[in-house]
Amino acid sequence: MDGRFDSGGGVITLSGMPRLLDQTLQRLDVGVDEREARLQLRRQIARLEAELGGLFAEAFGHTEVPHRIDSLATAPRVLDLGELEVVRDRLADRVAEARSALVERKRVEEENRELVERMLAAPQNFKWVQVSRQDLGLPGCGHWHSRPRLGPIGMLMGWWRVKVSSGCPLAGRLAAVEHEVPARQAEDAETREAGFCT
Amino acid sequence: MPAGAASERMGWVPPPRQGWVAPHIASEFPGLGIAWVEVEARPGRSSQAVRGRLRDLSDRTYGSQAIRLRERPIPWAYRVFFRQIGLDPDRTRTPVEQLTLDRLHDGGFRSHGLPADALNVAIVETGVALRAFDAEALEGGLCIRDTAPGESLPGGAAEMAGGTLAIADEARPIGLLFGPTGEGLGVEKATRRIAIAAVQVKGVPQIAVEEALWMAASTLEAA
């Protein structure tokens, strides 16, 4: 909100609040304990930072949440009331954005979960549709893929099914590939030594 | 020194000395503090034992821990303090976060020799922010205060803005709080006595500070 209406109907912007407060309090002859206000803002910053950290960790790997806040100073210093308010407000914005990003992500995951259920119930209605575990917010590899039995024959006959992939590639296969290259190089070297052209 | 004497000295560390915080800074940041220990040690290559410890630490540090780091109480406390003093902890990293990121980037905690390795082990184990200074270059005890207009770090070209939070000895600022160290005050080849300083912020328990200092100092003593 950019501003609020006072009782007289005029708009008072929030940025003008400290000045207004000063004027009012001067009239009332009341001192302002800014230090207490700063301490309060620092407590709020601590709470928001904890909340943002939790949301960041929860969202990591599922969706990106905005968590960056530009620094207000190039060197460490005691921030004044206004600057602390800026930090607090930006943190609150990030927390709100992170929360809505997570809610949106959960909604998409829930929709995908329902899609998988519908696919399993009637694969022929979802030809070639593929949903990964990541789309459902689940860890690991793998996907649900609606495809025809027996390839073209199944396509012609309308024999559709959902195939669940077997998960992540095995580490053993990757290791085998790594071993294959040096073995092939060694073989080539032996061939060269023997005087054959490859 | 005979081997027996060296092993007797292992683990013996002088008790930490508590520095002071300028009263107006302390009233703004309750819980802010600085403590340090001084040890007779020279910079140099880390021993096999220290390098082994870094390897063990590397094996115990995973990416998932890095993500959850900001939820742990001590790293969170430093992140909060960074926010409160105007720094962005995702740009100017807290010491433990920086080390964890380096671990993920490099595939392990690289050895940088002593005293850096001793400090890094203690920082990763405890989460407490540590700094090392040349103890012989310091004048008196350490403190945290804001700088006066016109003050600058030794060797620094530009003056620091008034009100900058700095670690200082009784004569001058020796380094920015969580920033660079003044020229000639860091640990260099000629250093024979090292001051290890821990910056404590609200939320960091005293016992963690003492443990961090003890860990770093005993690693240096044992080297």
Structure confidence by residue, pLDDT tens digits, A96-130: 999 999 999 999 999 999 999 999 998 888 889 99
pLDDT at A62: 81
pLDDT at A86: 94
**With contacts defined as CB-CB under 8 Å, which chain B residues touch A91?**
83
Total-model pTM: 0.78
pLDDT at B157: 67
Region of poorest pLDDT, from A20-29, B56-65, B74-83, B187-196: A20-29
pLDDT at B86 over 60: yes
Domain-located, residue A133:
no
Measure the CA–CA gap between B66 and B97, rounded to whole angstroms: 7
Measure the CA–CA gap between B184 and B164, rounded to whole angstroms: 20
- φ/ψ of A64, rounded to 5, equals -90, 130
User: Number of structural domains, chain A?
Assistant: 1
Sign for the CA dihedral angle at B102, B95, B128, B133 comes to: positive
**B100-114 mean pLDDT:** 91
CB contact under 8 A, A38 and B25: no
CB contact under 8 A, B28 and A57: no
Q: Closest Cα partner for B33 from B16, B52, B49, B45?
A: B16
Q: What is the CATH architecture of B16-222?
A: 3-Layer(bba) Sandwich (3.50)
How far, in whole angstroms, is CA B197 from its chain's centroid?
5
Measure the CA–CA gap between B219 and B223, rounded to whole angstroms: 6
Domain-located, residue A107:
yes
Domain-located, residue A5:
no
Token representation of residue B95 = 């010491």
- φ/ψ of B168, rounded to 5, equals -135, 155
CB contact under 8 A, B165 and A49: no
**A181-189 mean pLDDT:** 69
**B5: distance to nearest CA of chain A, Å?**
44
**With contacts defined as CB-CB under 8 Å, which chain A residues touch B165?**
75-78
pLDDT at A43 over 50: yes
How far, in whole angstroms, is CA B126 from its chain's centroid?
11
pLDDT at A7 over 50: no
Domain-located, residue A173:
no
Q: Is the peptide bond before B115 cis (omega within 30 degrees of 0)?
A: yes
pLDDT in tens, B115-139: 999 999 999 999 999 999 999 999 9
Domain-located, residue A22:
no
Alpha helices (runs of H) in chain B, residue ranges in sequence order: 3-9, 23-28, 48-60, 63-68, 73-84, 95-106, 116-126, 206-222
User: What is the ipTM metric for this complex?
Assistant: 0.86
Domain-located, residue A53:
yes
pLDDT at A18: 55
Domain-located, residue A7:
no
Identify residue A60 by its one-letter amino acid code: F
pLDDT at A167: 72
CB contact under 8 A, A77 and B146: yes
Measure the CA–CA gap between A172 and A165, rounded to whole angstroms: 18
Helix axes of B116-126 and B95-106: crossing angle, nearest 10 degrees:
100
